[in-house]
Amino acid sequence: SFHQVFSQTFGFSSLYVPTLDTWLLYMSAIDDLNNPCTTFKIPDDSVLVLVLDHAEHLKARAMVQYVALIECLSWINWQRLNQGQKPLFSLAFKP
């Protein structure tokens, strides 16, 4: 599932609850070296490129999750820009 993939990929802590609010919290903190939410960290001033394999298949099969992923990562980036920080995420779509 969506939450399992992200939890495994980014090493979310055992306290992770598979909700959109928790996902946003964990993904927003992925560059905070002092935050224990994830074992994966983005180095300072870096952008993490998330590559979506089979993006068209995901879009056709799970449109709600597809749109939510795009909108949520955009929201995280927008919040950071509003705080004078650099965006964290970029998306690449593989057919």
What pLDDT sits at residue 95?
A: 83
Dist CA 6 CA 19 (whole Å) = 12
What pLDDT sits at residue 14?
A: 94
Cβ atoms within 10 Å of 64's Cβ, excluding its own: 8
Give 55-87 pLDDT, tens digit per residue.
999 899 999 999 999 999 999 999 999 999 999
Dist CA 94 CA 43 (whole Å) = 25
Full-model pTM: 0.89
Place of tokens 């992925």: 30
Dist CA 48 CA 36 (whole Å) = 18
Beta-bridge partner residues of 18: none
Going by the DSSP 8-state scheme, the letter that residue 88 receives in this structure is -
3 state SS of 40: coil
Mean pLDDT on 35-50: 92
